[in-house]
Structure 1
């Protein structure tokens, strides 16, 4: 059975440890519900994770799992911690890029693993928020890495900003964590970008 592994932060986690199937209630669950039963979906999101946290568990959670598809959603906390915990050691764009490249280089040894990179979503439902302005270089890094590593790019940041402009639905509970509508937008964006290439 084809194994599709999703890794990231709390947006991916979405309460997976309280779920008997360990999928959570977020976009990963919604994607699973739309996929063929022959696909095994694994959720490896961990609340609070930054790229530095992914490094610590990459061997165990990704390399040893050897998935057919690896979807990575990271970057929100790398920016958010600069806003809500400035006293912490921060992950600035150059460091983010270097560490992300290191993880992708490790993953390139898994010759049958297809990569899916998700743009970081949003910080506040305001196109001009400080968080969204600070996200821009991180989003650009993800876009460039998708090209350099022949990965599918899921344009979640782009789609969310467009939806925020419409101001017709509440996407987050606190500017970051998803409402059902936010999770649905993430899932639909992922499916539209990825499944035509992964299920052909």
Structure 2
């Protein structure tokens, strides 16, 4: 029996060492999800495909969607994007920016293409955080993008992984271990929180 193909696409949070990894997964939440599937389920482990690329915004996903998603024809597609769409507004304000309106328009087009061309089960992950402070400038700007992902998940009947909420809850409870190395990129704890939130959503 042919195993399913589960494809994860996003930015550096998803990439996280996949190009240096002989399995092409990286040391990240994608690997943790794969390993937990093997532990929790008796069914064959899907083929996991990591298509994360560092620095990507929604515009970059659009440029490679045909090759990296549609041509792959996955059974499950998990999308994690939005952090760089905001972060670039903070660290490179002079570049062409992805406004919330533009973010929603492009994201919607990618979902339309996917629905029209594949039978993939689609999972949308909220953007995580920008700095480990709820009221950081990045997290305030990120709210609009999180809400867009929530809206699109409802409209397209996708499963919504509430990673942003999970991260804020962790921070509000003042847990001792950091989630990120630099406010964006994950520690092992951050990856575990992403993976657990995904698993609790998709497996339930």
Question: Any gaps of 5 or more consecutive residues in structure 1?
Answer: none
Cα distance between partner residues in 1 of 2:55 and 2:203: 28
* Equivalent residue, structure 2, for 1:173: 181
d(CA) in 1 for partners of 2:195 and 2:22? Answer: 21
* Contact 2:76-2:121 at 8 Å conserved across structures: yes
What are the Cα deviations for residues 113-171 of structure 1, in whole angstroms up to 9, with x where unaligned?
10000000000000110100000000000000000011000000001001011221200
Matches within 5 A, 1:37-186: 37-168=44-175, 169-186=177-194
Between the aligned partners of 1:175 and 1:166, the Cα distance in structure 2 is 17
SS of residue paired to 1:174 = coil
Which TM-score applies when normalising by structure 2? 0.94
Query: Taking structure 1 as the reference length, what is the TM-score of the superposition?
Result: 0.96
Q: Which runs of 5+ in 2 are unaligned?
A: 39-43
How far 1:109 sits from its partner (Å)? 1.5
Q: What residue is the counterpart of 1:2 in the other structure?
A: 4
Shift of 1:111: 4.3
- Distance in 2 between the 1:118 and 1:46 partners? 16
What is the aligned partner in structure 2 of residue 29 from structure 1? Answer: 31
Q: How many residues are matched? A: 196
3-state SS of paired residue (1:35): helix
